[in-house]
Amino acid sequence: MKFYLLFLSLLFVFTLTISHVFAQATTKPTESDLRLKRLLAYQKDFSQYSGISSAEGKKAEGLFKDFLTEAVPRSQDCLKNINNEERKKCDKKLKDDYKSAKKFNRLLRYYEIEQGMPYVCIRADLSQGKALEAKGFNPAKASSDNPKETGLTAKKPVYLCTGAKGDKKLRIQDDSGTLLRLSPGDQARTDLKLENIPPAENLLKLKTKLGVIQQ
Amino acid sequence: MKISQRGFSMVILVAVLGLVLAGLMAYIGSYYFNQQSLNPLTVNKPSQTASLPVEDPEACNDAYNADCQISTENDLEDLTPAEIKKLLQE
């Protein structure tokens, strides 16, 4: 009887250890896994861009589709590779593919914003050149009883978003995720006037990089 | 110590049950942790992408090079309109 109890206890500990290790192993995807997951999500939800109607936007959409058709299976095959050297090459290629996919997505979102589609956000600088940063302002926090609370955030990237009616607005994302208005000081900046966003040279750079226009 | 035929069968049975239990717990555990890591709005520190260490020193030696501020999750540009609607102060 004692033998059975001891055996059962050991088996229980073994079971717990195995399940813990197994669970931990599945929770830590690599950077490449996450990048591939994002590429797959773009491919799966490609119909989300179907509202784009401009000729240039359609061209970008077609280029993105072709890009994903090639990049996704290549990355999937490559990540099965267990050879260290080969795997390093895969990780590098996947990183480049991921960056390109993000650029395509950003450009397509820009076309959506230009068409007045609601609730779309992109980096105001299109992640090209010098980053556009500003402070956000939360009026609810500013009017709190705490005299030290100014309602201002630290400097963060500026986003160009659209509201319910497709109207453009600039926003800063605070640490809770909320998209705040710019601080009064930043609202007065010329480089953050809506007519200057996104900066023309950044847009040109992005379109050229992706082959949507020739320079 | 001598193990009888019945005792041996019991050991095998317990071992099989243990393996089944291990598989079940691993499945539940992985599902639970995956749910946590997949939920895009619960692990929310999205705006910190700007202060993330740069990945590629060759391409990202300029702190103001916006091209380098890459995050694989919780990117506003990847959210759906419904998700953005929740976050936007009109």
Nearest CA in chain B to A92: B56
Q: For residues B45-70, b (16+ Cβ closer than 10 Å) or e, as one string?
A: ebbebbeeeeeeeeeeeeeebbbbbb
Token duo for residue A22: 């197994």
Is pTM, for the whole model, over 0.80? no
User: If you count residue pairs, one on A and one on B, with CB atoms under 8 Å apart, how many are there?
Assistant: 148
Contacts of A31 in chain B (CB under 8 A): 72
Amino acid identity, residue B84?
Answer: I
Name chain A contacts of B18, Cβ cutoff 8 Å.
11-12, 14-15
> A82-96, B4-18, B21-35 — which is least confidently predicted?
B21-35
Q: Rounded to whole angstroms, how far apart are CA atoms B5 and A202?
A: 79
A55-65 pLDDT per residue, tens: 999 999 999 99
Q: What is the least distance, in Å, from the CA of A16 to any CA of chain B?
A: 7
d(CA B17, CA A170): 59
Does ipTM top 0.90? no
What is the C-alpha to C-alpha distance for residues A57 and A45, in angstroms, rounded to an integer? 17
**What is the predicted pLDDT for the residue at A125?**
94
In this structure, are residues A12 and A19 in contact, taking their beta carbons and an 8 Å threshold?
Answer: no
User: Among B48, B76, B81, whose Cβ lies nearest the Cβ of A159?
Assistant: B76
Tell me the shortest Cα–Cα distance from B13 to chain A, in angstroms.
11
Provide, rounded to the nearest whole percent, the portion of chain A with pLDDT above 70: 87
Q: Which of B45, B64, B66 sits opposite A123 (nearest CB)?
A: B66
